Amino acid sequence: MIVGVNGKPFDDDARLQLARAITVAETEAGRGRLQLLRWRAGATQPVELKLAVLGSYSATAPYDCPKSKRILAQGCQYIAQHGWKNKRGKLEVSIPPLDKLIAAIEADRRPPTLQTTQAFIQTNAKR
């Protein structure tokens, strides 16, 4: 069980503290090193996870932000490779602009490419 970050036990909302630690770890200064405290078998131990260095969010994020652009590209790449449905054929997500993308892809009957997926999301996210 994860009980803390950066050598300290959680002392507030664990979700927010973990999210902030991930954001720092993903910066160039953080070098992708996420320091966690793990409790297992009655003992607390430090554990380090290696994350991708995505950089820092810009002041205008998600607009004109290299990190946001990388995250979007990675998500689009995943969708292009794996599609939208789980093993039972059910949609994994239901977000209106993404639902439009799914319908367009299914109507086209061709696998989406990274470029077409990213362009569609960027166009429809602004509406």
The tens digit of pLDDT for each residue in 27-83 reads 999 999 999 999 999 999 999 999 999 999 999 988 888 998 888 888 877 777 776
- When mean pLDDT is compared across 3-7, 23-27, 42-46, 115-119, the lowest value belongs to 115-119
Is the confidence at residue 1, as pLDDT, over 80?
yes
Share of the chain above pLDDT 90, in %: 47
**Are 53 and 28 contacting, i.e. CB atoms less than 8 angstroms apart?**
yes
Q: What number is the average pLDDT over the span 8-30? A: 94
Is the confidence at residue 99, as pLDDT, over 70?
no
DSSP 53-90: ---PPPTTTTTT-HHHHHHHHHHHHHHHHH-SB-TTS-
Is the confidence at residue 3, as pLDDT, over 80?
yes
- pTM: predicted TM-score of the whole model, two decimal places: 0.64
Is the confidence at residue 109, as pLDDT, over 80?
no
Q: Kindly report the CA angle at 86 between 69 and 112, in degrees rounded to 5?
A: 45
